[in-house]
Structure 1
Amino acid sequence: MSSKIDNPAETTSSNTENPAATTSSDKKIITLKSSDEETFDIEEVVALESQTIKHMVEDDCVDNGIPLPNVTGAILAKVIEYCKKHVEEGTAELKTWDRKYIDVDQNVLFDLILAANYLNIKGLLDLACQQAADMIKGKTPEEIRKTFNIKNDFTPEEEEEVQRENQWAFE
């Protein structure tokens, strides 16, 4: 399955020597390949939001596309959406957009955290981690366990000891 992220009119010409890095309208195109074999053709400037991809481009490792074995197509599409918006928009418009963008279900949020970390996209990692932190803010340990479906493997004695040792955190 192949996904075209950019306007097809902008990416019609191709370079047969290097299909993963073609130019059209003076825009270099990079092909990203997700773990589930989905491909995404995006402008290089968007791809370079990722430090991981930036280093691959600098090392000229994009000839046959960039495989991203730790990122599914669905999550990669969300990551690309974030990167495109952050390349195209000014800072003032991004705060509101970021709040809407990161309002996703828990599984998607954690997959975004893993992808942002793997791709080294600091802004997205910070945004997603802040969203996770906001989910637990002001909650008791039991409420946090329930929110994230975490089994309590502490005995009551161990739990009491942890609370005693870290009393400052429970005030």
Structure 2
Amino acid sequence: MDTESGKTILLISSDGHRFEVTEAAASMSRLLSNMIEDGCTDNGVTLPNVTGDMLAKIVKYCDKHAAVTSELAAAGFSDAAAREESRVEKLKEFDAELVSLDVPTLFRLIMAADFMDVKGLLDAACQHVADMAKDMTVEQMRETFNIENDLTREEEAAIRRENAWAFATRR
């Protein structure tokens, strides 16, 4: 498929949602970039591990990042480092807003971004989880991330004794 902005690729989610994206946006995904390179996108690409709601977020990310990259290239940045710094700065707020999700949705986005190999989105989402976990107690992490405690009280007490330094409160 072709549009005014170049060739487009049809992406089909596991639940049948369809998205047309430019080749430039699709190339933000290493999975899709490799398929484009191999000529495997002519009949669309079915993504069996990505639901429509997650694919919508990934497409939004890729569209925005491809557009900003294209804008900066058109602006004539000759210094690659300055271009990258400007791109990162322009997209920081967008990325933060995109990954500000409830925990189950955020983890589904991480899985989808990992499957499609969208490194920037995966990094942003994982950094958001790390920022959430920062300064949490073990109990808070278990509650926030729905992690079952599979240790007996005795096993947990032994671990806390052996690693007391890790459980000391910060000041």
Q: Which residue of 1 aligns with 2:135?
A: 138
Distance 1:61 1:154, change over 3 A: same
Q: Tell me which protein shows more helix as a share of its residues.
A: 2
Contiguous gaps of at least 5 residues in structure 2: 69-86
- Residue 96 of structure 1: CA displacement? 1.6
- Residue 26 of structure 1: CA displacement? 5.4
Bigger RCO of structures 1 and 2 (CA < 8 A, at least 6 apart)? 2
- 1:37-52 matched pairs, under 5 angstroms: 37-52=16-31
Q: Which residue of 1 aligns with 2:39?
A: 60
- 1:1-150 matched pairs, under 5 angstroms: 22-25=1-4, 27-89=6-68, 90-150=87-147
- 1:150-165 matched pairs, under 5 angstroms: 150-165=147-162
User: What one-letter code is carried by the residue in structure 1 that aligns with 2:6?
Assistant: K
Task: Give CA deviations for 1:8-56 in whole Å, capped at 9, x if unaligned.
Answer: xxxxxxxxxxxxxx11225000000100011111101000000011111
Task: Output the CA distance in 2 between the equivalents of 1:80 and 1:96.
Answer: 17
Q: Alignment length, in residue pairs?
A: 150
- Residue 91 of structure 1: CA displacement? 2.7
Secondary structure of 1:160's match? helix
Is the 2:25–2:59 contact (alpha carbons within 8 Å) kept by the matching residues of 1?
yes
Percent identical: 47
Contiguous gaps of at least 5 residues in structure 1: 1-21
Task: Output the CA distance in 2 between the equivalents of 1:28 and 1:37.
Answer: 22
TM-score with structure 1 length normalisation?
Answer: 0.82
Is the 2:95–2:121 contact (alpha carbons within 8 Å) kept by the matching residues of 1?
no
Task: Give CA deviations for 1:123-155 in whole Å, capped at 9, x if unaligned.
Answer: 111110111111211111111111122221211
- Residue 162 of structure 1: CA displacement? 2.4
Task: Output the CA distance in 1 between the equivalents of 2:5 and 2:94.
Answer: 28
User: What one-letter code is carried by the residue in structure 2 that aligns with 1:130?
Assistant: Q
Secondary structure of 2:149's match? coil
Secondary structure of 2:21's match? strand
User: What one-letter code is carried by the residue in structure 1 that aligns with 2:132?
Assistant: M
TM-score with structure 2 length normalisation?
Answer: 0.82
What RMSD in Å do the two structures reach over aligned CA positions?
Answer: 1.4
User: What one-letter code is carried by the residue in structure 2 that aligns with 1:25?
Assistant: E
Task: Output the CA distance in 1 between the equivalents of 2:88 and 2:131.
Answer: 22
Task: Give CA deviations for 1:47-72 in whole Å, capped at 9, x if unaligned.
Answer: 00000111111111112111100000
